[in-house]
Structure 1
Amino acid sequence: MIASRRTLLTALGGLGLLAACDRVAPGASTGSLTDLRGRPVKALGEGGKLSIDDGRYLVALSLIHPDPVSLLAAWSGDVNRLSPEMYAAFLAKSPALGGLPKVAQSGKPFDVEAVLAARPTTALVSMDSGPSDAQAAQLEAAGVSVAFIDFFSHPFENQSKSLALLGALIGRSEQAAAFNAFKKARLDAIAAKVAAIPQDRRPTVFLEPHAMNTPDCCSSPGKGNVGDYIAFVGGHNIGADVLDQPSGKLNLEYVIERDPDIYIATGGPHMAKAGGFVVGPGFTADQSLTGLRRVAGRRGISTLKAVREGRTHGLSHQLINSPIDVVAVEIMAKWIHPEIFGDLDPRRTLDEINTRFLAAPYRGDYWADLRSV
């Protein structure tokens, strides 16, 4: 018998993943908005503009607005987080993007002066790497509202709330609710099946973000971030056993000792110079497989059971840390439990997102499978 919804949450480790999909930005229905830190935020109003500290917020806005660039006073300029192809698509649709002022991207020191110079109505910032309290107070004293959102650290808990807040900020709540409902239906279907999987049937997974970006190994999600995706689809993230933060480093010796059942490398156009996994509309299937073979053939990684037995995969990093990561969730579900999720069609899901929601659609392929090296 399928577990109750509350039981599902317990089965998923108490992450509160499904319940979060039901929530909207606090106060959104009453006209008083609060961000993910519980701070009051003003709606943009007519002619209002945003600054964003992560290019992937442009993707989020494009799900609910036909011309998201028109809403921006400044952006982070982090083309690789979008992919050069997606940047080109946004630029072709809205040439003004090329001339927008730049602000510091999330993960780097916050630049109050750059935001103030751009004169946004609201600074949209990342919850775990945005301005300090003192910097936020400085912006607000100058008349710039500050809204903290999160598509990165705790995606299942915070993404739907963040998109709902964006919708309320720009007067597109109905569109945000439509996408959140679309995504929730797919996540609920996966969760219902995962709840019935015993713990001893949950494969161990090593996911290496930006594999080969640096000579040393091994970057990994910990508790949060992409690690939440692995847990959600019924896998066991080996990084979460030793990393309390959303991301960090594992010793190669630890990875070899754990000998995971499944290995997943993330990459994209930004990995071309490093010789890593490249994928997207600018690359052929052969180029993607060549890069993935190179990643999987490194010292230590090549000895893993996952590589020897052909359970090695590559995923575009551009599919995660934004609301379209439901596609990545479906992909990982098929990789981790192919016997249960063989009926999922991530390509069809992405096509539907392109058709129904995105102002700048995703073209090309964004994942690959390697049977052997």
Structure 2
Amino acid sequence: MSPVQADTGSSKSTSTSRIEVTDLAGRQVSVPLHVNRLLLGEGRMIYALSILEGHDPFARVAGWQGDFRGLDVQGYAAYHARFPEADQVPLVGGTSAETFSVEQALNVNPDLAIMALTGGHGPGPHSEAVKQLEAAGVPVIFVDFSQHPLRNTVPSIQLLGKAIGRTSEAAAFIDFYQQSLDQVREPLAKAREAGQLNTPSLFIDMLAGLQDCCGSPGEGNFGELIELAGGHNIGADKIPGAIGTLNPEFILSSDPDVYVATGVFGEGRGGVTLGYSATQAQAESSLRAIASRPPIGELTAVRAGRVHAMWHIFYDSPEHLIAVQALAKWLHPELFSTLDPEQTRKTLYQRFMPIPPTGVFTVSLPTTAP
């Protein structure tokens, strides 16, 4: 089923103790009015949950999938430093949907399960696991921050806020989210209206150096962020879905104006070093190595120094608003000379997140003449 916006503005009471919502898979779901035990079908949903739960995001987490621990090691370490009880949250699976255990999920006795629409690291909308959870009396709702982030982030936050009783917190974040995106939308609209806007092409090399060349967003995911930021995603020319691969020959023939890699691990783990424990020097040196590998080093963008990188988890988090601002600066440096994505990130964390904004999440190499 195609993702649709959640009908969160007028949920109706089905009884004195339950409410009815429409999730991002278009499913009508009856959820408890007071949720005390949450099951996270992807561990990285802790980022979105943190925005709504304030200073204690683990207060209601009864169990979670293992992707946060296993694949986002810097993020997990940052949370663990502030919340050591993260180690005690029961795992209900590993880092893939196939490892999700319905038996372990039911053992944590959840009031509500939250799943990702894409079903990449946990069960998807049509999975047998979801059917079994619902048959056992566990309501399941689907959210989406990855497949179509610009379309679905606001309704997903609204849905979560209503389901867990955090509607005012959801409204506050949505206001901040829209204002942050408007800092990009409005200057671009004025420049476009004045006939002064070009559309540079861009290649996002997802998990660069950590997999065969080359992962890329297509029609969705980071691709939507590139379009909002005033660029053309070359991956959309070949990939019909949200994420896919591009062959080196196509990348070379497209010769994009700007090159962006994504990274997630710490120093020594390969790829671009970005995240909560990364330093500027580590980020720059690792990006330089990644951008010089064949065939990427042959691109005009790399030879000219139009080389950047950003945190890979932006692809699946409401924090992608920071990525939009960074992309806008990289694509249109003169138009966005005063825009400060790092300050936006600091403000986001000060207002909504329970951990400090440590580390490096975007990085650029010095620009040289083409």
Q: TM-score, normalised by structure 1?
A: 0.87
Q: Aligned pair in 2 of structure 1 residues 172, 316: CA closer, same or farther (>3 Å)?
A: same
For residues 78 and 123 of structure 1, the distance between their equivalents in structure 2, rounded to whole angstroms, comes to 16
For residues 26 and 191 of structure 1, the distance between their equivalents in structure 2, rounded to whole angstroms, comes to 25
Within 5 Å, give how 1:123-202 maps onto structure 2.
123-129=113-119, 130-131=123-124, 132=126, 134-195=128-189, 196-197=191-192, 201-202=198-199
Residue 38 of structure 1 is matched in structure 2 by: 26
Per mean C-alpha deviation after superposition, the further-off stretch among 113-122 and 57-66 is: 113-122
Q: Aligned pair in 2 of structure 1 residues 105, 151: CA closer, same or farther (>3 Å)?
A: farther
Q: 2:260 touches 2:308 (CA, 8 Å); kept in 1?
A: yes
For residues 63 and 173 of structure 2, the distance between their equivalents in structure 1, rounded to whole angstroms, comes to 25
Residue 16 of structure 2 is matched in structure 1 by: none
Residue 17 of structure 1 is matched in structure 2 by: none
SS at 1:32 equivalent:
strand
The one-letter code matched in structure 2 to 1:316 is W
Alignment of 1:261 with 2:257, yes or no, is yes
The one-letter code matched in structure 2 to 1:172 is R
Q: 2:7 touches 2:23 (CA, 8 Å); kept in 1?
A: no
SS at 2:97 equivalent:
coil
Deviation at 1:369, TM superposition (A): 0.7
Residue 118 of structure 1 is matched in structure 2 by: 108
Deviation at 1:202, TM superposition (A): 0.3
Between Structure 1 and Structure 2, how many residues are aligned?
352
The one-letter code matched in structure 1 to 2:311 is S
Residue 207 of structure 2 is matched in structure 1 by: 210
Deviation at 1:341, TM superposition (A): 1.2
SS at 2:240 equivalent:
coil
Q: Aligned pair in 2 of structure 1 residues 116, 58: CA closer, same or farther (>3 Å)?
A: same
The one-letter code matched in structure 2 to 1:205 is L
Aligned partner of 1:339 among 323, 334, 338? 334
Q: 1:67 touches 1:359 (CA, 8 Å); kept in 2?
A: yes
Q: 1:64 touches 1:175 (CA, 8 Å); kept in 2?
A: yes
Within 5 Å, give how 1:1-373 maps onto structure 2.
25=8, 27-28=10-11, 31-46=19-34, 48-65=36-53, 66-79=55-68, 83-104=72-93, 107-109=96-98, 110-129=100-119, 130-131=123-124, 132=126, 134-195=128-189, 196-197=191-192, 201-214=198-211, 216-269=212-265, 272-274=268-270, 276-371=271-366
Deviation at 1:209, TM superposition (A): 0.8
Residue 14 of structure 1 is matched in structure 2 by: none
For residues 271 and 201 of structure 1, the distance between their equivalents in structure 2, rounded to whole angstroms, comes to 37
Q: 1:86 touches 1:360 (CA, 8 Å); kept in 2?
A: no
Runs of 4+ in 1 over 6 A off after TM superposition: none
* Unpaired runs of at least 5, structure 2: 14-18
Q: TM-score, normalised by structure 2?
A: 0.88
Q: 2:42 touches 2:68 (CA, 8 Å); kept in 1?
A: no
Q: 1:278 touches 1:288 (CA, 8 Å); kept in 2?
A: yes
RMSD: 2.5
For residues 243 and 276 of structure 2, the distance between their equivalents in structure 1, rounded to whole angstroms, comes to 28
For residues 312 and 221 of structure 2, the distance between their equivalents in structure 1, rounded to whole angstroms, comes to 12
* Unpaired runs of at least 5, structure 1: 1-19
SS at 2:59 equivalent:
helix
Residue 9 of structure 1 is matched in structure 2 by: none
The one-letter code matched in structure 2 to 1:27 is S
Between the aligned residues of both structures, percent identity stands at: 38
SS at 1:269 equivalent:
coil
The one-letter code matched in structure 1 to 2:322 is V
Q: 2:71 touches 2:95 (CA, 8 Å); kept in 1?
A: no
Q: 1:314 touches 1:369 (CA, 8 Å); kept in 2?
A: yes
Deviation at 1:111, TM superposition (A): 3.1
Q: 1:27 touches 1:34 (CA, 8 Å); kept in 2?
A: no
SS at 1:68 equivalent:
coil
Q: 1:155 touches 1:225 (CA, 8 Å); kept in 2?
A: yes
